[in-house]
Amino acid sequence: MNELPIINASEHAWTLHDPRFVIDPQVSVCPNNVPDCEQTGENLIARMLEYNVDRTVISHVCYYGRNNDYPIHCVKRWPDRFAAIGLLVGHRLFPPQDGEANAERLRQLVTVEGLAGLRLSPIYDRKSRWLDDPVCDPLWAAAADLGATFNLFMGSEHLEQLGIMAERHPGVNVVIDHFAMIDISRPDAEGIDQIVALARLPNVHMRTSLHNPSKESRPPFRDMWPYLRRAYDAFGPRRLLWGNFYEYLLMGEMVDFFTAEDRQWIMGGTAQRLYFGDQR
């Protein structure tokens, strides 16, 4: 097969010193989490050159809330380097009940501003169930029409809800982030079993981010490898993708059950299709 690009499927980006992109705790999704350093588009490009990464997907950081100006700036300034996933609906964002208005906001972000989709984060408000509420159907219908991808930052208790929406809207590609924050000290039935059950839906994908569920403090997070193997067996390489620079060697070389062709898809081919419009 032809060589596929290497794409880091998830990095945050923000700046502390540009007056155009001020972090406002009043609109932040995480107002108590104020950064003391920055990771700008320029910083990301420098790291991409260091790691020989062709492209990166910017997952909009919680600091800015529903103000997507900085990832939009990065995509427009470096269109050959970045795609971006915005924040729009959920906790401290636009309410899911906005329905049609949220659909129009998504259309604006994709068609005018150039974003590739949204990150939906029900994990920030675990007391409220909105992910599979019919009020969200217009948003999902718009995503299907636009070819937008939804990344899901959620807990294991949201997996059933995701399955309902992914089945209801088969034209929307979705990506499970951080292994749905499963607790690997709990029985598999409460975590990984529910994840792999969603592999029956061809529009559900998995990002391999191992660090959040792991009980280990640094790579290679070997306690997560059996769970990664189960995800690989269930979803296959064309529905897996890596993210964060720490995973570059881990997924690119260390994991011993990926074939060379598997790595091409996991390291870039899947993200190319989901975020950069390659329909292979």
Instruction: Give domain status of residue 87, yes or no.
Output: yes
DSSP 126-193: TT---TT-GGGHHHHHHHHHHT-EEEE---GGGHHHHHHHHHH-TTSEEEE-GGGG--TTS-GGGTHH
pLDDT of residue 1: 61
Instruction: Give domain status of residue 1, yes or no.
Output: no
Q: What are phi and psi for residue 237, nearest 5 degrees?
A: -65, -25
Q: For residue 236, what are the contacts with CB-CB under 8 A and spacing of at least 6?
A: none
pLDDT of residue 172: 99
Instruction: Give domain status of residue 280, yes or no.
Output: no
Instruction: Give domain status of residue 246, yes or no.
Output: yes
> Residue 270: which domain range?
7-275
Instruction: Give domain status of residue 239, yes or no.
Output: yes
Instruction: Give domain status of residue 2, yes or no.
Output: no
Instruction: Give domain status of residue 173, yes or no.
Output: yes
pLDDT of residue 280: 44
Per-residue pLDDT tens, the chain, 280 aa: give them.
668 999 999 999 999 999 999 999 999 999 888 899 999 999 999 999 999 999 999 999 999 999 999 999 999 999 999 999 999 999 999 999 999 999 999 999 999 999 999 999 999 988 889 999 999 999 999 999 999 999 999 999 999 999 999 999 999 999 999 999 999 999 999 999 999 999 999 999 999 999 999 999 999 999 999 999 999 999 999 999 999 999 999 999 999 999 999 999 999 999 999 999 875 4
Residues in the chain: 280
Map residue 176 onto helix, strand or coil.
strand
* Count of structural domains within the chain: 1
Question: Domain holding 207: CATH number?
Answer: 3.20.20.140
